[in-house]
Structure 1
Amino acid sequence: MSSPDVLNPIPLPNTVAAYWLSQLREKTPLIHCLTNQVVQNFTANVLLAIGASPAMVVAKQEAAEFSAIAGGLLVNVGTLNDIQIESMTLAVSAANVAGVPWVLDPVAVGGLAYRTDFCRDLLNLKPAAIRGNASEIMALAGFSSSGRGVDSADDSRAALPAAIRLAQRSGAVVAVTGEVDYVTDGKTCYALPFGDVLMTRVVGTGCALSAVVAAFIASGDENRLEQVATACMVMAICGGAAAMVSNGPGSFTPLFLDGLYNLQPQQLIGKTL
């Protein structure tokens, strides 16, 4: 049973977010992305813009070797197949041995048994963080959900109990994203309401966020809850700002990337809920 506090999300202190963004920029972590084929280019550009270094090493002969030397690992099951499963399993196992934190993005889990079973198996390998939409998090936690492929038909606030349970059972920090993002370790929950619906009209913003989560937790394990919440806050702030001045999805993407690149830690201190 969750405590009353965790069901009442709190804002992330702005100074905390500024600190973790400074840490990421200082360390420029190398992020190993085993992600879906649709979003590889966008994900790489987002990581570069935020200050990290992306690598898409996908061959099973190399995945384990590379994940062991990376700062963080992303496992995204968007275009899952048997070859990817082998590479992902090898990479996760090597990352765990090397102490490299990894992030699970359970794309479309709940609607398709093949990926749902694989992601539930991956939970036994202890991800440091899990990032998904409301329907994905609910399904992964064993709750009833109503997702349609990569689209969530569930509200992020309604998915908070599932996120809390998933965090408590897996030991991971869980981020459930939507109109408001919620990030919890099962004991505390942060609410990040800074995004814009236009972000859902551009392919890859959620998948790229999962890679950014991996970049922030590569800073060390001092406070992964704060790190994951900062990743969500930074992406949402830049997305919201880009949406305000764009004319639609086509103009949004370059403005979003520019916003990530130009965002300075001290600018986060001025943000309020």
Structure 2
Amino acid sequence: MDASSLRAARTQLTDSAPLVHCLTNTVVQAFTANALLAVGAAPAMVDAPEEAAEFASVASAVLVNVGTVHARTAEAMRLAARAANAAGTPWVLDPVAVGGLSFRTDLAAELVALRPTVVRGNASEVLALVGAGAGGRGVDSTAAADDALAAAEELARRTGGVVAVSGEVDAVTDGSTTVRVGGGSVLLTRTTGAGCALGALVAAYVAATGDPLTGTVAAHAHVALAAEIAADLADGPGTFAAQWLDALDALDGDALAAADVRTS
């Protein structure tokens, strides 16, 4: 993963303005939409079972986030994932709090079987998806990213896609190549919806680049760099959220090319 790939990814996203279909956590819908708009993508929050499959087939990418799932939205997620697969549309699974609650854990297993393009979660969530853990503390991880690297590689090989594990240093793998993305700020963990927004940005970048590994790394780098800028300007988590959105908007390809990204 070199600087030119990240620079190109930012340009591709700006030029294509991908339409991201978000079936996501009700707590964070507006924040997620604003993050997508800030990077130059177009958000849509269509989570009715009657519409989800139809919209997934015409969107540029789909995000499936199980954060506040219930029976109706779970069915919409299944339909959207199947429709995305049929249309060749990339889709991202964000398995929020999987492992601790049986309904969402069973649903996530169904969705993994549909082979998401990218799975993006914290270490505890990724471990739970492969049956190697019982989840974290609610939505928070109790494991470090490197603790889940072997599980992430296994999951990537199982799905044929990419798995991203968030942590102090994020790890992104396709099962053979692993890329680590450093930077960011602890204030991301004190901002409701930052991780959920990251899942949406992954979907946008994967749609724009047509390359799941490059797109996922670019999204993580964009989020981390913007967080560093925002943290320098913020007085606390409240002002950080606004500054982060502004920084997401301001970052260009040259800035993204300077991200702390290492391939192994």
Question: SS in structure 2 opposite 1:39?
Answer: helix
Q: CA deviation at 1:107?
A: 0.3
Higher helix residue share: 2
How far apart, CA to CA, are the structure 2 residues paired with 1:270 and 1:116?
37
Kindly indicate whether the alpha-carbon contact (under 8 Å) linking 1:68 and 1:95 is maintained by their aligned counterparts in 2: yes
Question: Quick one: distance in 1 between partners of 2:57 and 2:32?
Answer: 21
* Structure 1 unmatched ranges of 5 or more: 1-11
Aligned twin of 1:62:
51
Give the letter for the 2:39 counterpart.
I
Matched to 1:258, the amino acid is D
Shift of 1:168: 1.1
139-148 or 85-94, which deviates more: 139-148
Give unpaired runs (5+ residues) of structure 2. Answer: none
Q: What secondary structure does 2:22 align onto?
A: strand
Structure 1 counterpart of 2:131, from 142, 163, 188:
142
**Are residues 194 and 92 of structure 1, via their aligned partners in 2, closer, same or farther at CA, if it must alter by over 3 Å?**
same
Q: Who is 2:40 aligned against?
A: 51
What does residue 260 of structure 1 align with?
A: 248
Name the Cα RMSD after superposition. 1.2
Task: Using the TM superposition, give the Cα deviation of residue 271 of structure 1 relative to its aligned residue in structure 2, in angstroms.
Answer: 3.8
1:5-44 correspondence to structure 2 within 5 Å:
12-44=1-33
Q: Distance in 2 between matches of 1:146 and 1:83?
A: 24
Provide, for residues 203-250 of structure 1, a one-character-per-residue CA deviation record: whole Å limited to 9, x for no partner. Answer: 0000000000000111253x3111111111111110122112211101
* Paired residue secondary structure (1:142): coil
Preserved CA contact (<8 Å) 2:97 2:135: no
Q: CA deviation at 1:270?
A: 3.4
Deviation of residue 268 (structure 1)?
A: 2.2
Residues 272, 86 of structure 1: CA spacing in aligned structure 2 closer, same or farther, 3 A cutoff? closer
2:227 aligned residue (229, 236, 239): 239
Q: 2:149 aligns with which of 153, 157, 160?
A: 160
The whole-number CA distance in structure 1 between the counterparts of 2:131 and 2:5 is 32
Offset of residue 14 of structure 1: 2.1
**Identical amino acids, percent of aligned pairs:** 50
Normalising by structure 1, we get a TM-score of 0.93
Partner of 1:186: 175
CA–CA distance in structure 2, aligned partners of residues 119 and 65 of structure 1: 21
**For residue 3 of structure 1, what is the aligned residue in structure 2?**
none
Shift of 1:94: 1.2
| 8 A Cα contact 2:221 2:259, kept in partner | no
Find out whether 1:113 has 2:99 as its counterpart.
no
Q: CA deviation at 1:166?
A: 0.8
AA of the residue aligned to 1:15: S
- CA–CA separation in structure 1 for the residues paired with 2:65 and 2:85: 17
